[in-house]
Amino acid sequence: MSGITVNTKINGDPVEFICEADETLLDVLRNRLGLTGAKEGCSTGDCGACSVTVDGRLTCSCLVLGAEAEGHNIGTIEGMAHGESLHPLQSKFLEHAALQCGICTPGILVAAKSLLEKNPDPTETEIRFGLAGNLCRCTGYDKIVRAVQDAAKEMRSGKSAKSKATAKKRA
């Protein structure tokens, strides 16, 4: 067994790890780097619980090999809040009770953030299709959709411009 050395950036920080050829990015994040926020719900790309971004693109980390992360920027749920400030999506999920058990929540937040970056003012239908790759079995999605709508509204308002600016400065 020879390990592969991989250099990557995770949530903006340089990270170097060694993995086996058959290990997924999800395995590496969870088992080698201690980043257990991404969850394994299916390992076949059907549930979205392992959602991360790779160079800003929403990806199921169970479908990417760890070795493929070489040279890329990986974004995970652990990088979503900045210091003590939660991302507006995180705050709105709490406010709207948009989680029950919470296992799907990290993946859904990563997916919702990715959606709002591309489309800051989505319709309900666009939100529903934007999150269609992330399964939630507890909520029936109602409160999740409302939380995303509310977060999008806040992010579009002056308040969000300010928090975005803070986020950029920190990054």
Partner 1 sequence: MPLDNAPESKRKFNVVGTRPLRPDGIDKVTGRARFGADASAPGQLVGRILRSPHAHAIIKKIDTSKAEKLAGVKAVITRDDFPDHTGGSGGLYDTLCNVMAREKAFYEGHAVAAVAATSASIARAALKLIKVDYEVLPHVTDVDEAMKPNAPLLHKDMFTDGVDPKPKKPSNVARRFEFGHGDVEEGFKKADIIVERSFKTEAAHQGYIEPHAALASMGPDGSAELWCCTQGHYMVRDVCSQLLGIDIARLRVTQSEIGGGFGGKTTVFIEPVALALARKANRPVKVVMTREEVFKASGPTASTSIDIKIGVTKDGMITAADGTFRYQGGPFQGCSPAEFGGMSAFAQFHLDNVRAVAYDVVANRPKTISYRAPGAPMANFAVESVIEELAHKLGMAPIDFRIKNAAREGTKSSYGPTYGPIGLGATLEAAKNHPHFKAPLGPNQGRGMAAGFWFNFGGQSCVTLNIPIDGSITVSVGSPDIGGSRASMCMMVAEELGIGYDQVRAIIADTSSLGYNDVTDGSRTTFATGMACILAARDAMKKLCARAAATWGIPEDAVTWEKGYAKPAGANAGNFAPLSLKEIAAASPGTGGPIAGHHEYSADGAGVSFATHICDVEIDPETGRSQIVRYTVIQDAGKAVHPSYVEGQFQGGAVQGIGWALNEEYIYGKDGRLQNAGFLDYRIPVCSDLPMIDTQILEIPNPGHPYGVRGVGETSIVPPLAAIANAVADATGVRFTQIPLSPPRVLKGIEEAKKAGGKKAA
Q: Which residue's structure tokens are 């995970």?
A: 76
Give 54 or 158: the residue with its C-beta nearer to partner 1: 54
Could you tell me the smallest distance in angstroms from the CB atom of residue 104 to partner 1? Answer: 5
Interatomic CA distance for residues 139 and 99, integer angstroms: 7
Applying CB under 8 A, the span of 63-71, 75-83, 114-122, 155-163 interacting with partner 1 comes to 75-83
Figure out which of the listed residues 6, 19, 25, 35 binds partner 1, where binding follows CB under 8 A: 35
- The footprint of partner 1 on residues 103-132 (CB under 8 A) is 103-106, 109, 124-125, 127-129, 131-132
61 touches partner 1 (CB under 8 A): no
Q: Point out which span in 63-71, 113-121, 140-148, 153-161 binds partner 1 (CB under 8 A).
A: 140-148
Which parts of 84-103 interact with partner 1 (CB under 8 A)? 86, 90, 93-97, 99-103
